[in-house]
Amino acid sequence: MTAEPVTKPLLRVLTGKRTAIPPIWLMRQAGRYLPEYRALREKADGFLDLCFNSPLAAEITLQPIRRFGFDAAILFSDILVVPHALGQRVTFAQGEGPQLDPLEEPSALSSLRSDIDHNALEPVYATIARVKQDLPRTVALLGFCGAPWTLATYMIAGRGTADQFPARAFAYRHPDAFVRLIDVLVDASASYLCRQFAAGVDAVQIFDTWAGVLPADEFQRWCIEPVARMIAKVRAQVPAARIIGFPRGAGTELPRYLDAVPVDAVGLDWMTELSFAREHIQPRRTVQGNLDPLALLAGGAALDRATDAILEAFGQGPFIFNLGHGIVPDTPIAHVERLIARVRGRV
């Protein structure tokens, strides 16, 4: 790992250095807005089959690199492969999002494995090894997982719900069972990330998509503490592990997140105010973000203005340009091209 930070701008920035032009990648950069993704998607039966088809998943991971020349490739997979590898049934109905057999009562937890089945995830590790071979030397490869809280919300509800009501209610009603579930997810996710590093990823991102629906105390208990424990476990095995945290919606709790969670960089959602982040977050950690995906969808003057404001706010410190959440499927390719050119100072 020692020679790589020099050749990959994104890894340099993760060590707290500034680059003249910020590295750029986009959450969900491999996906439905790309015609070449939609063409491959038709070749697989279900979405999970695609995630577990290493040749296709590797190709999809590389598609946005070939088309746009991003500074990082993110492994094509999904956060819900972890519940799958814990024995929960996970399916993706076309156009409807994920469906899992919900864990409605504490007794349902006994249907889960206590440790992650790495055999079920071998195809993911094989995808990493394949991508690694074909990736340009300057492009970083990112692995990822869901944070325990966000995974638990899908496992309990069986799907995405408004403000994740079912998991929040479950955590209040059955705190002991909820602690057990979170503990299983901390161990499973740490072990999963270690295997991703062993297979060749340069850094990982921990997606806590639903961090923002919790009151402050609950945020401390179910987001901050479990992710901090997870990172300690990962670094016990992989001391140099580079980690980006993405606690979406953390808002004014972000400083507290950084107090306790030793991430190398923090992904900011698009709601995060730029001057707040410049003054209180960037002096402490590399920041990543935070263009509103809908500004990218809209394009035109609104996109240029929003892009410039972010470059202006974060350009003087360690910074990775990204969206504040995933790219939306209707986003025109031309807008992505424009964004990259503008970040790189070409338009």
Binding site for ligand CP3 (CB under 6 A): 27-32, 41, 47, 74, 76, 78-80, 92, 97-98, 144, 160, 207, 209, 326
Q: How far is CA 157 from CA 104, 170, 263, in A?
A: 7, 10, 29
Q: Is 28 a catalytic residue?
A: yes
Task: For ligand CP3, give the closer residue by CB, 76 or 170.
Answer: 76
Q: Is 37 a catalytic residue?
A: no
What DSSP assignment string belongs to 130-192?
Answer: HHHHHS-TT-EEEEEEE-HHHHHHHHHHSS--GGGHHHHHHHHH-HHHHHHHHHHHHHHHHHH
- Neighbour tally for 225: CB within 10 Å: 16
Q: Is 78 a catalytic residue?
A: yes
Nearest to 155 by CA among 163, 145, 166, 144: 166
Q: Is 154 a catalytic residue?
A: yes
What's the burial of 67, exposed, middle or buried (CB within 10 Å: 0-12/13-18/19+)?
middle
Task: For ligand CP3, give the closer residue by CB, 39 or 309.
Answer: 39
Minimum distance, C-beta of residue 244 to ligand CP3, in the bound complex (Å): 12
Which residues, in sequence order, are CB contacts of 173 under 8 Å at separation 6+? none
Minimum distance, C-beta of residue 220 to ligand CP3, in the bound complex (Å): 21
The C-alpha atoms of residue 6 and residue 205 are separated, in whole angstroms, by: 20
Task: For ligand CP3, give the closer residue by CB, 97 or 300.
Answer: 97
- Catalytic one of 32, 67, 235, 256: 32
Residue 123: enclosing H or E segment and its boundaries?
Answer: helix 118-134
- Catalytic one of 18, 41, 67, 235: 41
Task: For ligand CP3, give the closer residue by CB, 203 or 313.
Answer: 203
Minimum distance, C-beta of residue 246 to ligand CP3, in the bound complex (Å): 8
DSSP 3-state assignment of 323? strand
- Catalytic one of 12, 37, 71, 78: 78
- Catalytic one of 33, 37, 125, 154: 154
- Catalytic one of 28, 67, 159, 344: 28
Task: For ligand CP3, give the closer residue by CB, 73 or 171.
Answer: 73
Q: Is 344 a catalytic residue?
A: no
Minimum distance, C-beta of residue 46 to ligand CP3, in the bound complex (Å): 9
What DSSP assignment string belongs to 216-228?
Answer: HHHHIIIIIHHHH
Residues with active-site annotation: 28, 32, 41, 78, 154
